[in-house]
Structure 1
Amino acid sequence: MFIHEIENWTSFRWNADSLSDAIARTNRAIGYLTGRLSTIGFDSQMAATVEAVTHDVVSSSEIEGITLNTEEVRSSVARKLGVTVPDTKEPTHYVDGVVEMMLDAVMNYDTPLNHDRLFGWHAALFPTGKSGFSDIVVGRYRDESMDVVSGTFGRERVHYRAPEPERVLDEMNKFFLWFNDNKDCSIISEVCNSSSVVCMHSSV
């Protein structure tokens, strides 16, 4: 049985008390970093922001098995934030799309999430309508089944089977209602609000 096959599977609960220490440690670390940033001057703050976003973009892509050119990412981030960095390298359209999506997610974390915004991120990630050599449908939800599989041909192992395509729209609507509801995400919001301080220098 997969998680989405459990009745009321999105009704997650957690013990806030058990998370309080971890959140407090995170907030202290963010406060320390913010204090350090405030002493190094505006230009250095912006350079640090460029490096932090560049690291996030490159590391996030590696999770998907995609290796991005760090210099291209840094150049794209710097240009979009209006920062001058040495040894710039012209980024590809794909890198620009990934950076645009990441900056929107980080800088506008408190903007409600909806279908159009998500589809915009999707289009930014795949401006050519291709993933590698495969054609993909951009800007809408999938209309076919999706499995996470490993193993050689004939000996495949299914690790996860996603909800059937006819369920996706309804499940996404439920997700947006949860994600945009601050009352249900008070703990997450507390960390996000604190974490955003580090990146807010780029919005000055």
Structure 2
Amino acid sequence: MRGVMDLNQHSKLLVQQVRENWELLGYETRNKYQFLDEAQNPIGYAAEQQKGFLGFMMRQFLGHWRTFDLHFFDQGRNEYMIAKHPFCFLFQRLEVQDINGQKIGSLQQRFSLITKKFDVLDAHGNVIMEMRSPIWKPWTYPFYSRGQEVACVLKKFSGLFSEIFTDRDNFAIDLKSQALTIDEKKIILATSVFIDLVYFEKKAN
């Protein structure tokens, strides 16, 4: 699929929240994102599935602890990946799978007093990377493998007034290591949207 192939063709991506009404899933969606290359050409999309009135109530009362599903599409709007967030009260988790239900990997929060710390696990539950965001850099989410930074997700402010008056968020993804596998890149891609929903999403009116 083109969107998947593009992950091997680009080391830097922009994740941009959008407001268009998309007909991607055949049912209502809420948070929507597009992935752009360095020339700002769209190469893929993601959307959170809206779950009706129950989903609305869960969002209002549970916030980022709620369950949600993220669907990922290539430029041709063919779905190739789903990321599922189960209900988590203490430690957040994200489970990434292909459209056939085959597990790709997961993101699991770990206890930490002064950082946001997550383990990145492969399909077999083995820790392959660690993501940790220091308290003094709350907009930076680097990924480490064997002590070396291999990727980073960075929140990019689109302008003071835009941040104050809208919910729109932008993130940059830097895939620094050429040794990253396609599955690892998929998990990092899913993590960029997860970061927005868990740490930066504002309550809808």
TM-score (norm 1): 0.26
TM-score (norm 2): 0.26
Name the structure with the higher strand share. Answer: 2
Structure with higher Rg: it is 1
